[in-house]
Chains A and B, each alone.
Chain A
Amino acid sequence: MGKRIGMEVAIAVAEAVGLCDIDMAAVYPITPQSHIAEHLSDLVANGEIDAEFVTVESEHSAMSAVIGASGAGARSFTATSSQGLMLMHELLPIASAMRLPICMAIANRAVSGPLNILNDHTDIMPQRDSGWISLFVENGQEAIDLSIQAFKIAEHKDVMLPVCVNIDGFQLTHMVEPFEMPSKEEVEKFLPPFVPHATLHPAKPVTMGAFAMSDYFTEIMKAKNEALKSSKKVILEVWDEWARLFGRAYKPVETYQAEDADVLMLTMGSMGETAQMAIDQLRAKGIKAGLVKLRLWRPFPLAEIKAVLKNVKKLIVTDRAISFGGPGGPVFSEIKSAMYAEARRPLIYNYIYGLGGRDVAVGEFVGMFDKVLADTKNEAADTYEFWGVRE
């Protein structure tokens, strides 16, 4: 077993990536990701890991550099946040279309404007359809574990897709937390060497990223979609293996007190821990409340979501982003869509909250449950609301 230590989560993510025998990293620093960039750069500069650290001039260049390096057969890593992720946006679907197993840590932060450096999910949601595997973590331990697992998932011969690990900016990246860091030997045992599906080499010339017209574009999109959907099988295998080796189990959809619940709340990321405390308070008062935590955002765990939600009467979906002018938060829309054809489905409420780093305390989660339970005529079901907004 790894040693139990206390460390800032961003530093720990860089340490964890440093255990993964990366060949290169191209990381442009941006708050609140900067400590990952700085510490990884330190590890390379101090000779602690044998990798190239490419000091790029922007996030567009960072993503371009890891695409090139991954194409050449290098295990490649990058990390970003908010505006940096927006600048990478153009290249994200190219990385996945070329089936390059790049791994990226995202320190989730609000997208401008107005300029705001604090945490929400408005940066990752516009990247939803980029064809990346997208995972969410709730605490430092999960950030470390998933940062290591990401390489194994991405590089599996049946996956060959880029993976991003969403780590709430500040709320997680800047917390000093206790956790178990796997040892170098344990990671070596877990993570086999990277075997690329093709490499750029003069001895065997290939073309990557070739042009395709309407006669092939549809087939290529279908193949990419099937690859992303079927990656779930490998993700589950990797999580099984991780549970066996390290004793920590991960699931696409995790639950807390959900089995007999009348009303459930769904969260993604670090808010899950606060919501869990609210569930304890509600249960103490005799209210059958429970929690659903969505870990796997892409590929979307349709079957698991349906199984968890089929018996509940009311569901509160929380969103840390909004689709402006749309039907509600992005998670709300997807959950509603997932449940639409089900014979038994909950009434679904949507609260948009925690934007731009606004704290949501335990009592406010309790307040959301109270409000939904008080809606006996179900008038607010199927609508969304900005929780805590000043009128």
Chain B
Amino acid sequence: MALKSWKELPIGCVVSDPGSASEYHTGSWRSQRPIWDNAKCIKCGICYVYCPEGCVQQTEDGFFKADLDYCKGCGICSHECWPRAIKMVEEE
């Protein structure tokens, strides 16, 4: 997304395009990413429940993954996962 100049901003920065926040990929803030070890995962879904970003999704086989466009790498999923199936690894 090309950044606008100050002259191009709408008055009061009103956002008139509903849902456009999804175009803002906050995953760029991340310094660590969650990696699931499906051998340890019991499919309890606590990572899905606790993710403050709502970016953890269940896949067709019942395991979980994060949408890395929005995952900020906060590590809450890893912290809450009691089978310790989620490891946080440094981004390159």
**A: which residues have CB within 8 A of B?**
97-100, 160, 197-198, 204-208, 210, 212, 215-216, 218-220, 222-223, 226
Known contacts A197-B12, A207-B18, then 9 further A-B pairs from the complex at CB < 8 Å, ordered by chain A residue: A98-B12, A99-B11, A197-B14, A204-B16, A206-B14, A210-B13, A216-B3, A216-B9, A218-B6
Residues of B within 8 A of A (CB): 3-7, 9, 11-16, 18, 21
A380 to chain B, nearest CB (A): 43
A206 to B11, CA, bound (A): 13
- Tell me the minimal C-beta distance from A93 to chain B in angstroms: 12
B7/A198 in contact, CB under 8 A = no
Among residues of B, the one whose C-beta sits closest to the C-beta of A207 is B15
Check B14 against A198 for contact (C-beta < 8 Å): yes
Chain B proximity of A67: nearest CB distance (Å): 11
The answer to whether B12 touches A160, judged by C-beta atoms less than 8 angstroms apart, is yes
When distances are taken between beta carbons in the complex, the residues of chain B under 8 Å from A100 are: 12
Partner among B3, B7, B15 whose Cβ is within 8 Å of the Cβ of A223: B7
- A171: min CB distance to chain B, Å: 36
A29 to chain B, nearest CB (A): 30
Out of A97, A98, A197, A226, name the residue touching B6 (CB < 8 Å): A226
Q: Nearest CB to that of A210 among chain B residues?
A: B15
Residues of A within 8 A of B18 (CB): 205-207
A205–B3 Cα distance when bound, in Å, is 23
Task: Give Cα A207 to B15, complex, Å.
Answer: 5
Q: How far is the CA of A315 from the CA of B3 in the complex (A)?
A: 47
Q: Nearest-CB distance from B87 to chain A (Å)?
A: 29
